[in-house]
């Protein structure tokens, strides 16, 4: 997988092209219908909503955003599949799990975070010291997403058979409670849950996703929204990308604003954002191949029911302008 050092050129390239794209924002309004378009957007823990607001890119929208907050990706994807949302954002594998089941959705943009910010946690008093100690243990994570994948990939790396540990499919809220209560031995999760657990519950990280997962979060849109609200969806992707670039130089402001919006501790969010260094991506051939490799591995693990063609699951046109030569 590519490390952080590899996506700075993409970030610079995006920064330059997004300045040019800004010109289109003023003219894009003309392409919206006279009646205000409403984009129904799913958010996790206030992340994208807070990002747009604090960066200033939520101003002067030529459409209306109706925000809905969710605790994790699964309910966002369910809502997209049911037609209750137009746009959401979710980890790469959670997206592929629902896409594989026939959901009418596409990945249209996204971000990359440091893979170390996906982690397997244990309680402070746990006898587990490393991944080698996970044999025979009860491990919790999200089914069909980053949690399950990280558990399986970590076990494989430690040369432990998948059947030699017990997988407990739990969402972040239930898994956090279960870890503290001692009903599970370890928990695979992402930020800001990792920072919350380590800072507030004194949990320990015993393994992370470095070298194991792309750690890409996709902006996902329904096929219907792509067809009927394309100008608004395109504008939102551009604003999110520019806001994400802004956030890299304003992590403290971003954390403070998100804390006020979500009631999560500011120190937890600052820790999470600092560790993640989340940057926008272009959905290009390199990203497609990287996610394809993770998808094929997920099929081998039994997380995905069949082999997927990732190229058919994405719509490159929304970030093509930022790619320059795409």
pLDDT of residue 187: 98
| Domain boundary residue, one of 208, 236, 257 | 208
Low-confidence winner among 48-57, 191-200, 204-213, 313-322 (lowest mean pLDDT): 313-322
Res. 16: pLDDT tops 70: no
Q: What count of other Cβ atoms lies within 10 Å of the Cβ of residue 227?
A: 11
Shared domain for 81 and 91, answered yes or no, is: yes
| Domain boundary residue, one of 183, 208, 233 | 208
State pLDDT tens for residues 215-244.
999 999 999 999 999 999 999 999 999 999
Q: Distances from the Cα of 127 to the Cαs of 31, 43, 165, in angstroms?
A: 60, 36, 16
Res. 172: pLDDT tops 50: yes
Residue 314 DSSP one-character state: B
| Domain boundary residue, one of 189, 208, 227 | 208
Shared domain for 9 and 157, answered yes or no, is: no
Computed over every residue of the chain, the mean pLDDT equals 89
State pLDDT tens for residues 97-134.
999 999 999 999 999 999 999 999 999 999 999 999 99
Residue 222, helix vs strand vs coil? strand
Which residue is it, tokens 């939102």?
Answer: 236
Shared domain for 128 and 203, answered yes or no, is: yes
Which residue is it, tokens 């494989």?
Answer: 156
> E strand or H helix at 140, and its extent?
strand 138-141
pLDDT band of 73, cuts 50, 70, 90: confident
Shared domain for 222 and 308, answered yes or no, is: yes
Q: Are 122 and 128 in contact (CB under 8 A)?
A: yes
pLDDT of residue 4: 42
Q: Quick one: tokens of 52?
A: 């747009």
Strand pairing class (38-44; 64-70): parallel
Shared domain for 278 and 244, answered yes or no, is: yes
The predicted model scores a pTM of 0.82
Shared domain for 197 and 234, answered yes or no, is: no
Shared domain for 290 and 308, answered yes or no, is: yes
pLDDT of residue 7: 46
Residue 255, helix vs strand vs coil? helix
Shared domain for 128 and 61, answered yes or no, is: no
Shared domain for 67 and 195, answered yes or no, is: no
Shared domain for 110 and 8, answered yes or no, is: yes
Q: Looking at residue 23, which CATH number applies to its domain? A: 3.40.190.10
pLDDT band of 46, cuts 50, 70, 90: low
Q: Quick one: tokens of 14?
A: 């995006």
Close Cβ partners of 134 (under 8 Å, ≥ 6 residues apart): 120, 128, 154, 155, 158, 160, 165, 185, 186
Which residue has better confidence, 325 or 50?
Answer: 50
CA-based torsion, 40, 43, 46, 50: positive or negative: negative
pLDDT of residue 23: 44
Q: Quick one: tokens of 142?
A: 């999200």
Q: What count of other Cβ atoms lies within 10 Å of the Cβ of residue 259?
A: 18
Q: Quick one: tokens of 186?
A: 């370890």
List, in sequence order, every beta strand (DSSP E) within the chain: 38-44, 64-70, 87-91, 105-112, 119-122, 138-141, 166-169, 186-189, 204-208, 216-222, 279-280
Counted domains in the chain: 2
In 3D, which of 171, 178, 194, 6 has the Cα closest to residue 118? 194
Residue 222, beta-bridge partner list: 105
Close Cβ partners of 158 (under 8 Å, ≥ 6 residues apart): 130, 131, 132, 134
pLDDT of residue 15: 52
Question: CA triplet 92, 97, 99: central angle to 5 degrees?
Answer: 90
Tell me which residue range forms the domain holding 152. 116-208
Q: What count of other Cβ atoms lies within 10 Å of the Cβ of residue 75?
A: 17
pLDDT band of 44, cuts 50, 70, 90: confident
pLDDT band of 325, cuts 50, 70, 90: very low
Shared domain for 17 and 51, answered yes or no, is: yes
**DSSP sequence for 29-96:** GGGS-SSPPEEEEEEETTHHHHHHHHHTTTTT-SSEEEEEEESSHHHHHHHHHHTS-SEEEEEHHHHH
Shared domain for 165 and 191, answered yes or no, is: yes
**Across 260-274, average pLDDT:** 92
**Across 64-93, average pLDDT:** 93
pLDDT of residue 133: 98
Residue 307, helix vs strand vs coil? coil
């Amino acid at each position: 997988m590519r490390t952080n050092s590899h996506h700075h050129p993409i970030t610079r390239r995006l920064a330059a092209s997004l300045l040019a794209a800004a010109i289109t924002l003023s003219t894009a309004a003309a392409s919206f219908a006279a009646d205000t378009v409403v984009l129904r957007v799913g958010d996790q823990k206030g992340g994208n909503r807070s990002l747009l607001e604090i960066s200033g890119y939520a101003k002067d929208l030529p459409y209306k955003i109706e925000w809905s907050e969710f605790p994790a990706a699964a309910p966002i994807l369910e809502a997209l599949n049911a037609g209750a949302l137009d746009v959401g954002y979710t980890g790469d594998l959670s997206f592929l799990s629902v896409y594989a089941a026939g959901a009418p959705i596409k990945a249209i943009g996204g971000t990359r975070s440091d893979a170390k910010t996906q982690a397997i946690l244990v309680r402070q008093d746990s006898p587990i010291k490393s991944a080698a100690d996970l044999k025979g243990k009860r491990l919790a994570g999200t089914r069909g997403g980053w949690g399950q994948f990280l558990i399986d990939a970590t076990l494989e790396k430690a040369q432990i058979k998948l059947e030699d540990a017990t997988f407990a499919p739990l969402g972040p809220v239930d898994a956090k409670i279960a870890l503290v209560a001692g009903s599970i031995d370890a928990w695979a999760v992402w930020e800001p849950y990792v920072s919350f657990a380590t800072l507030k519950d004194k949990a320990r990280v015993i393994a992370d996703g470095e070298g194991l997962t792309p750690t890409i979060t996709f902006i996902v849109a329904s096929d219907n929204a792509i067809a009927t609200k394309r100008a608004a969806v395109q504008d939102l992707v551009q604003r999110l990308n520019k806001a994400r670039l802004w956030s890299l130089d304003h992590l403290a402001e971003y954390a403070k604003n998100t804390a006020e919006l979500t009631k999560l501790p500011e120190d937890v969010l600052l820790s999470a954002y600092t560790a993640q260094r989340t940057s926008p991506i272009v959905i290009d051939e390199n990203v497609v191949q990287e996610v394809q490799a993770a998808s094929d591995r997920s099929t081998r693990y039994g997380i995905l029911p069949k082999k997927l063609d990732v190229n058919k699951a994405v719509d490159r046109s929304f970030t093509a302008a930022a790619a320059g030569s795409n």
